[in-house]
Structure 1
Amino acid sequence: MSDKQRAREQKHAWIYLFNLGFYILPMVLFSYQVWEIVVMVAAMLIFIGLYYCCYSVPREQMLWPILGMYIIACAVTPLNPGSIALFSYAGFFVGFAYNWRVALVAVTGILLTLAAFHFGPGTRWALFLPYGIVIVVTVSIFGRVERLRQQHAEEQERDAEEIERLATSVERERIARDLHDILGHTLSSIILKSDLANAQLSKRRYDEASEQLVELSEIARESLSQVRQSVSGYKHGGLQLELRRLEQRLADGGFSTRITGTPPIIDEQRETSLVLAITELVTNIIRHSNGQQCLIHFDETANTYHIKVTDNGNCHEVSSGNGLQGVELRMKELGGSVAISANKGCEVALLLPKLAEQQV
């Protein structure tokens, strides 16, 4: 389940607490001492905390909250036969979190626990076992159905993201074609006007040369406007897609490339800056490095993403030209930094701080 889906499910988790009515009802119908009421209410509050914990963690991390719910249900059963509601929640999350074989074994264990209480110490309700079996089995099936529903939703979300990436790729190709057509014509016109102005100047026809330069300026301004219109709304294809394209560019330039680690999942604006920064570093390698290998490595700590772009060329000193200055500016705008090392090749490390909600 994605973080967005998990937040959405947790927002509505309180609705399913209605089943606790089975637990609360005996507290109204039966006569209890004050301390017993206090114990049962405290157990219910801890149980609700574990319930929300299950909603807030991935399926792989639900084992301990489920065990906690099961233990609380066992502890209160001698006092309150409505504990079948608590067992049913444990059954739901078992059906939701595990494959059907594990879930079947776990649900069977819960049913055997109900039987042990019913035929062993006994409970304050003669129908504890029959009702418990029906409720636990039914709710466990609901948990299994919910797992299948969310898996289907995740697949749909992945398909939608892939469609969006493909659409973005098509848009990039359209922009490339438009720019090719616009700039091809415009640059030809600029070259022609420049040659004419130069010819007029050589003949000392300054008025005619000035006229050509005015037309040249108008062509350049019009070209700039057309380029802006063409690229308005442009979005890159995402960090993963851009990395594959950069890898291909490096291969075309004669570099073998390795991309290691897990690229960060960040918001669009920060991802765009990171894509442009890595693209500039790769361009520098293709233009200036005399090496044959390039490594792009991703790592992270609790507060920071680390990205290293390294080549194995003979590099002893790095001059900070416009490209590297642009990279440093982009990182600075994001609150990050750039570190450059020229020991056994050139290594540029980008440090990008995580946002508060991304920090572990």
Structure 2
Amino acid sequence: MSQCPPDGNGASQEACGLDDDQKFWDRRGWLVAGVWVIFLVFPIMDLLVEDYPLSTRIIGLGMVALFAGVYLQSYAKFSWTIGRGGTSTRRAHVNFLILCVIILVGIPVTGLTAMGLFPFITSYAAFLLTRKWLIGTYAIVLVLSFALPLAFGRFLDAIFLIGLNIVLMVVYAITVAAISRSASAEKIRSDYLLVAEQERVARDVHDGIGHSLTALNLKAQLALRLLDEEDYGQVRGELEQLSALAVNALDSVRTTVQGLSRQDLAAELAELQQACTDNNLEFTVAGTAEQIPLTLRSHIAWILREAVTNVLRHAHASTVVIHIGSTRVSVDDDGDGLQPNAVGHGIRGMQERARQFNASCSVGASRLGGTSVQVVFADKGKTQ
């Protein structure tokens, strides 16, 4: 993975880590600059065709070669700044000034032909330097594009070069704005994905580990009661289940960290039945896990776990009934019912998870007298 080059203060660039679109500019941005080297044909042809002394031609061609080398090397080194507001490093400014000096030295020798090099410095300023340098460069080039033809008395002959420079400055500005907007959109997308991942981890920790800790607590309380009753054989069984639940909790932590969804709906139903049986709740399931579309089973498993965990924690119920269909799942209990202002993290978590697969999750009164959780989703066809 490529690293972000440092900025002018030596700090890492904040935009490091953008995806393939930005990586292109990081690694291949100098190729864009390479295309414009074709414009160097104008000063080269002028030096070769016009009546210059041999020494002037040699020096001139050497300066053109130096110009091309500095230009391409600068893009190769600083193309990571394209779309990020430019760089303020000393090296970038020194290279830019070298290009400007070569052009200024060439003006007395080649005259208006030197205007053919203006697109290089406007490109450099637009793509690689900060806005302050861009505005200054554009202003100077715009003035020189009109002043030089007037000074040499060849304004009509330079109309093409004047128009070319103006058009390219506009093109550069629009291109930089488009790239910057794309980079900003990618940054916003990255921030959104980060927040979404944080919410997923928080929800998974609450749903998975919260359920496991609740089961551990209930098992521990049961083991303590059995100890008071001196039923040591049953205590041993409960402690063994405590150990198994702890292993499952650790597995849930690993799953959350890895970003995986290990929930198997059929296995989850079996675990919920065991948890309810251990706590003297009658547990009934109408329907089977196979009725749920395969892609939704993990989500449904999480929601059922949260709903039943809430019953175990708060409802003081004696019966839990789960209905499973191809487009709907419900959890009903005969407990205390939903209390006013009782919408907490668990209910919000179920609703947020339902929205992940375009479903609705509502919580209300149950026909059994307690609370009912209803999840309605689209029928995505039969699973294989």
Q: Which of 187, 192, 195 lines up with 1:163 in the alignment? A: 192
User: Structure 1: where are the runs of 5+ without partners?
Assistant: 201-207, 237-360
Note the alpha carbon deviations across 1:167-198, whole angstroms, 9 max, x for none.
12322134213322321122211231244246
| 2:178 pairs with 1:149 | yes
Please tell me whether the aligned partners of residues 223 and 238 of structure 2 are also in contact (alpha carbons under 8 angstroms). Answer: yes
| 2:38 pairs with 1:8 | no
The TM-score normalised by the length of structure 2 is 0.49
- In structure 2, what is the Cα distance between the partners aligned to 1:170 and 1:40? 57
Matches within 5 A, 1:37-186: 37-57=61-81, 59-61=86-88, 64-77=94-107, 78-79=109-110, 83-96=114-127, 97=129, 103=134, 106-120=137-151, 127=157, 129-171=158-200, 172-186=202-216
Note the alpha carbon deviations across 1:78-131, whole angstroms, 9 max, x for none.
2486543431122234445555x98566324213324444444689x984x323
> For 2:73, what is the secondary structure of its paired residue?
helix
- In structure 2, what is the Cα distance between the partners aligned to 1:122 and 1:235? 72
Change (3 A) 1:157 1:47: closer
- In structure 2, what is the Cα distance between the partners aligned to 1:93 and 1:4? 24
Matches within 5 A, 1:344-355: none
Note the alpha carbon deviations across 1:307-343, whole angstroms, 9 max, x for none.
xxxxxxxxxxxxxxxxxxxxxxxxxxxxxxxxxxxxx
> For 1:59, what is the secondary structure of its paired residue?
coil
Please tell me whether the aligned partners of residues 118 and 141 of structure 2 are also in contact (alpha carbons under 8 angstroms). Answer: yes
- In structure 2, what is the Cα distance between the partners aligned to 1:103 and 1:7? 24
Q: Which of 36, 44, 60 lines up with 1:19 in the alignment? A: 36
Change (3 A) 1:25 1:113: closer
Please tell me whether the aligned partners of residues 40 and 116 of structure 2 are also in contact (alpha carbons under 8 angstroms). Answer: yes
Q: Which of 237, 252, 274 lines up with 1:229 in the alignment? A: 252
Larger radius of gyration between Structure 1 and Structure 2? 2
Deviation at 1:219, TM superposition (A): 3.1
Please tell me whether the aligned partners of residues 95 and 103 of structure 1 are also in contact (alpha carbons under 8 angstroms). Answer: yes
Deviation at 1:156, TM superposition (A): 1.4
Please tell me whether the aligned partners of residues 213 and 249 of structure 2 are also in contact (alpha carbons under 8 angstroms). Answer: no
> For 2:257, what is the secondary structure of its paired residue?
coil
User: Structure 2: where are the runs of 5+ without partners?
Assistant: 1-12, 260-384
Change (3 A) 1:56 1:158: closer
- In structure 2, what is the Cα distance between the partners aligned to 1:182 and 1:231? 14
The TM-score normalised by the length of structure 1 is 0.51
Structure 1 counterpart of 2:86, which letter?
R
Q: How many residues align?
A: 226
- In structure 2, what is the Cα distance between the partners aligned to 1:149 and 1:175? 40
What's the RMSD between the two structures over aligned residues? Answer: 3.7
- In structure 2, what is the Cα distance between the partners aligned to 1:142 and 1:4? 28
- In structure 2, what is the Cα distance between the partners aligned to 1:26 and 1:69? 14
- In structure 1, what is the Cα distance between the partners aligned to 2:222 and 2:74? 76
Q: Residue 330 of structure 1 corresponds to which residue in structure 2?
A: none
- In structure 2, what is the Cα distance between the partners aligned to 1:134 and 1:224? 74
